[in-house]
Amino acid sequence: MTLLDVDMILLDVDPNVVQPGWAPLFIVLLLGIVMVFLYFSMRKQFRKIRLPEDEESDNAEESASERPPRTPS
């Protein structure tokens, strides 16, 4: 007896009658949509991060070109 046979005996389910339903498909699609939303949100947050060397290079560029300082958006 394999582990699958033991599971079928314990669950008392006929493997020829069991069919996949629509609910798992919708759950997987919903998880995919949530993952895409989280990916774009993470990208947006990563763009807001300012590292010290980025700020120094931004300050050097601004002083070299005599631009007015940026305002936060």
Alpha-carbon gap, residue 67 to 60, rounded angstroms: 11
Of 1 and 53, which is predicted with more confidence? Answer: 53
Assess contact for 69 and 62: CB atoms under 8 A.
yes
Residue count of the chain, please give it. 73
Alpha-carbon gap, residue 46 to 5, rounded angstroms: 50
- pLDDT tens string 16-68: 877 788 998 999 999 999 999 999 999 999 999 888 886 666 666 666 565 55
Assess contact for 52 and 45: CB atoms under 8 A.
no
Q: Which pLDDT belongs to residue 53? A: 80
pTM: 0.49
Contacts of 61 (CB under 8 A, 6+ apart): 67
